[in-house]
Every structure is written in structure tokens, then in C-alpha cells.
Amino acid sequence: MENVLEIKHPIIDRYLTFLRDKNTSTAVFRRAMSNIGVILAYHSLSDLPLDETEIETPIQKTKGYVPGPEVVVIPILRAGLSLVDGIINFMPEAKVGHVGVYRDEETHQPVNYYDNLPVGIKDAYNLVVDPMLATGGSGSHAIKFLKENGAKTIKFVCLIAAPEGIERLQKDHPDVPIITAAIDEKLNENAYIVPGLGDAGDRYFGTI
């Protein structure tokens, strides 16, 4: 698939096993999500442009690097918050914006309820973050909102993607690369990812 990176790594498989297992405790689920967030950030930021700077070691002057554009992480509330901890551990200078979208349980259509974007997203390197890309409605909606606010460089970072969601994002936003830890089989009749991990927000926040 073009413009889609499915990260293959034995440790990802290990963390995904904790995350998918319905008997995993909230504490272990949170830790696995945080650790996998670091790996997703590592791959998502692999082409971040850098500017050169000069620094001084205790021995002599030398070349250093600073991010060219600012990095902005935009979790789609609620479940997107689960990956933020890992991503900002890897990239502590990143700013964090928020887009609140939930999926209507009957229609599966995205409903927008909150936005708070930092200034400067127009020129930033923006990572839209959500663990689950199911129908793609929420992701597509959040990306559209960012573009309406002037964002030009956007990546979509998720944990598990359904083929249906990938197709939808690629159709609506062919310019936005998708980085995922797994591409699953399909959606079920309730538009949940199969095999997936169930409701990511409920499992992360312990609201089940």
C-alpha cells in the first residue's frame, strides 16, 4: 500500500499482544500503549528536517541540530491521548494540540466537540494521533480540520488500522502518510476492528 508504513518489529508484536488481550489490566495496557508510542514516534519523525546550530562541548565547538519545523502532536480525544505520553517522551519539545471527536454509536459518523490547536500549525510538522483507524471517519475529519487551519505537513499515526480506514484516508487525504503498528483484517458489523483490541478509549481510561 502506498503512503502506509506498517512497522514490523518483534517488540511491537509483544506489546500488541498485551494490548489485544482482553484480560490485560488497565495498568499493563497503559504501559504498553506508552512504550509503543515511543516506537511510533521514532518512525513517524524519521524524516523531520533539522537545522544546523553551533554548540560547545567541554572540549571544543561542534555542530549540533535543532528541529527545522516545530513538531505538533494532535491526539484525537479521547483515545488519542493514550499515545501522547510515549510520543512526547521521545520528542519532549513537541507541542500538543487537541481535537475532540467521537464516533456516533448508531451512525458511526464523527461528531466534533472540542478543538484547541497551538499557534504555528501552518508551518509545523503535525502528527495526528489516534490508536484506532476503523472506518476512517474520525481521522479524516480531524485532518480536514487541520488543513482548514492551514496545516500543510501532516502524518496520521495509529496503533491498529483497518483496511477500510486506510482506504478512506487515502481517498480523502492522499497527501497524508499513515504510520501504524498493525494492519488488521476488517471491520465487524458494529464498525469495530477485527481482531483489534475493543474500545481503545474505554480500555485505556478504565471506563469499562
Nearer of residues 79 and 88 to ligand URA, judged by Cβ: 79
- Which listed option, ligand URA, ligand PRP, none, makes contact with residue 136 (CB within 5 to 8 Å by class)? ligand PRP
Burial of 62 (0-12, 13-18, 19+ CB in 10 A): exposed
Whether 202 is catalytic is yes
- Which listed option, ligand URA, ligand PRP, none, makes contact with residue 192 (CB within 5 to 8 Å by class)? ligand URA
Whether 115 is catalytic is no
Nearer of residues 78 and 94 to ligand PRP, judged by Cβ: 78
Whether 85 is catalytic is no
Measured in whole angstroms, the distance separating CA 54 from the mean position of its chain's CA atoms is 32
90 lies in the site for ligand PRP, by CB under 6 A: no
Write the DSSP string, 136-184: SHHHHHHHHHHHHTT--EEEEEEEEE-HHHHHHHHHH-TTS-EEEEEE-
- Half-sphere exposure of residue 186, counting CA atoms within 13 Å on the CB side? 3
Whether 199 is catalytic is yes
Q: Which of 126, 138, 170, 180 binds ligand PRP (CB under 6 A)?
A: 138
108 lies in the site for ligand PRP, by CB under 6 A: yes
Separation of alpha carbons 80 and 200, rounded Å: 9
CB of 203 to ligand URA, least distance (A): 8
> How would you label 98-113 residue by residue, b for 16+ Cβ within 10 Å and e otherwise?
bbbbebeeeeeebeee
Nearer of residues 120 and 205 to ligand PRP, judged by Cβ: 205
CB of 208 to ligand PRP, least distance (A): 11
CB of 70 to ligand URA, least distance (A): 29
The residues annotated with a catalytic role in the active site are 103, 107, 199, 202
